[in-house]
Amino acid sequence: MKQKLKVYKIGGGIIDNSDELRLFLSDFSKIQGNKILIHGGGKGANQVLKQLGIEPKMIEGRRVTDKETLDVVISFYAGTTNKNIVATLQSFSCNALGLSGADANAICGIKRPVKKIDYGFVGDITAESVNTSFIDILIKQNITPVFCAITHDGKGNLLNTNADTISACIASSLAGLYDVELHYCFDKIGVLKDVNNDDSLISEIDSEKYKELLSKNIIHDGMIPKLKNAFNVINSGVNSVILEHPKNLNNSIKTVITK
């Protein structure tokens, strides 16, 4: 029987709030068994860019990562944020190890091809980009990998990469070795029938239920991409995807999505 593995993704909101982040990391450190953490960027990098007088580059409403922006993003994601998370987890007796995709070639993607827009130093990855054997070695040593949202292309380029995508690819790639639960921690307590009412939480969704909710127009537009992504991940072999607020890590307030 395969061992369990829990993969957690946290995003901007919590990373920008040091008290909430600390509480989350304390809860995360108490989770028993194999686990991985992936963290997005937060607004800190934008603040540094602003302080350094680097204007955000946008083309057709999409952010472009030029070389100078990349340098700040690397320093903030792989440096400040990643190392502070790792040091805090160590203080809670969780044996964390911070990683970018370049480290031990953990995630080797490609620089996004230039079509209509040149997004600059942005990485595209798939589950095949993930060095599962390396991650497996760490997990077997009771080490908790902590990934920032930076990958590389194997040609010396570091690449800014979407943290949700990294989480999905890591979860999918390890599904052959482990029974994987993928947890997306975000600013809601889960999927709500009424986005303004936490009492309307839907605790469980499977593909049948998803069809029903869609046909009844119950799901808020903003949640549809998250649910589509969840079912893609599940169809790639991941056992379940859980949508939850980071404060609810160790209770049952969440939406559990299964096949």
Q: Closest separation between CB of residue 25 and a copy of itself, Å?
A: 9
Near a copy of itself by CB under 8 A: residue from 64, 143, 177, 253: 143
Contact call for residue 232 and a copy of itself (CB under 8 A): no
Considering the rule CB under 8 A, would residue 116 count as an interface residue with a copy of itself? no
Angle at 153 between CA 148 and CA 154, to 5 degrees: 110
Of 67, 65, 165, 152, nearest to 110 by C-alpha is: 152
Name the residue type at position 170.
Answer: I
Least distance CB 93 / a copy of itself (angstroms): 9
Residue 231 tokens read as 């079912």
Which residue in 242, 249, 252 sits closest to 23, CA to CA? 249
When asked if residue 137 is in the footprint of a copy of itself (CB under 8 A), the reply is yes
* Structure-token pair, residue 125: 């990855």
At closest approach, how far in Å is the CB of 74 from a copy of itself? Answer: 5
Give the whole-angstrom CA distance, residue 131 versus residue 3.
Answer: 19
Task: Give 152 or 245: the residue with its C-beta nearer to a copy of itself.
Answer: 152
Q: Cα separation of 219 and 257, whole Å?
A: 14
Please pick, from the candidates 13, 23, 84, 124, the single residue that binds a copy of itself as defined by CB under 8 A.
84
One residue of 30, 43, 62, 83 binding a copy of itself per CB under 8 A: 83
Minimum CB separation of residue 237 from a copy of itself in Å reads 26
Tokens describing residue 115: 């079509």
**E strand intervals along the chain:** 4-10, 34-39, 57-59, 62-64, 96-99, 110-111, 123-124, 144-147, 150-152, 158-160, 179-185, 191-192, 201-202, 204-205, 240-244, 255-258
Stretch that binds a copy of itself, among 5-13, 34-42, 155-163, 195-203 (CB under 8 A): 155-163
- Contact between 90 and a copy of itself by CB under 8 A: the answer reads yes
Among positions 3, 33, 68, 87, the unique one binding a copy of itself when judged by CB under 8 A: 87
For residue 177, state whether it binds a copy of itself (rule: CB under 8 A): no
C-alpha closest to that of 7 among 127, 187, 108: 127
Residues 43-82 contacting a copy of itself, CB under 8 A: 48, 51-52, 71, 74-80, 82
Nearer residue to a copy of itself within complex by CB, 51 or 197: 51
Which one-letter DSSP state was computed for residue 107? B
Residue closer to a copy of itself (CB basis): 76 or 184:
76
Kindly list the residues in this chain that would bind a copy of itself in the complex (CB under 8 A): 48, 51-52, 71, 74-80, 82-84, 86-88, 90-91, 95-98, 100, 102-105, 108, 134, 137, 141, 143, 150, 152, 154-158
